[in-house]
Amino acid sequence: MHRCPYYYVLEDVMRDRASSMPLSTMSSIGNLKILDDDGRAGELDENKPIEVDTTTFKHVVGDLPTLKKKPRTSPSSLSSDLTELSQLKREQMIENRQYKKMQFGLEERTLELLEQESTIRLEKLKAEAARECLQLKVDILRQRVQLLKEGVPQDKINSALPVPEHSDYS
């Protein structure tokens, strides 16, 4: 379906459904009145864009809609637009740098926390290993006491179950 190029400009006017009356039609609009920026009626200039004042359509259907000419941009306004655009670009670059600095700081902090976590895990493993060694030593000493109670000579116990030194497991 091909639509009028001004469809979205005149969307409020064209919002009619098959079951209702249109808000406005070309016959109810009549002749268009063209105004300059200063509000005076002017000649239609093919080189200047025209904008439709849609508030007129919304409020009073029978009145003439107002068209306003947009002035062409001058070189000075182009340079001021360019200056404003470059200022916005500069501000965006500053914001990006600050964001990247914050992101880098967060990544640095994450690495520090991971290092701390791995250090704590290592210490935990060392403590568990020391506890296991101590438990082994306690078990051997209990077995030696049991063998002594059963009457096994001390030299056979020493040869069969030597007492491990703490430095043997660290």
Within a domain: residue 126? yes
**What domain range includes position 143?**
75-160
| 72-82 per-position pLDDT tens digit | 556 677 788 88
Instruction: Report the SS3 class of residue 41.
Output: strand
Return all residues near 146 (Cβ < 8 A) that are at least 6 apart: none
Last residue of one domain, picked from the residues 31, 52, 71: 71
Question: How far is residue 146 CA from its own chain's centroid?
Answer: 69
Return all residues near 15 (Cβ < 8 A) that are at least 6 apart: 23
Within a domain: residue 170? no
Within a domain: residue 169? no
DSSP state of 123: H
| Long-range CB contacts (within 8 A, 24+) of 60-67 | 61/23, 61/24, 61/28, 62/28, 64/29, 64/30, 64/31, 64/32, 64/33, 65/29, 65/32, 65/33, 66/33, 66/35, 67/32, 67/33, 67/34, 67/35
Give the mean pLDDT of the chain. Answer: 75
| 56-105 per-position pLDDT tens digit | 444 444 445 555 555 555 667 778 888 889 999 999 999 999 999 999 99
Selected residue with higher pLDDT from 128 and 14: 128
For residues 136-153, give the mean pLDDT.
93
- Are residues 107 and 36 both part of a single domain? no
- Are residues 138 and 82 both part of a single domain? yes
User: What is the number of domains present in the chain?
Assistant: 2
- Are residues 51 and 102 both part of a single domain? no
Last residue of one domain, picked from the residues 49, 71, 93: 71
- Are residues 62 and 128 both part of a single domain? no
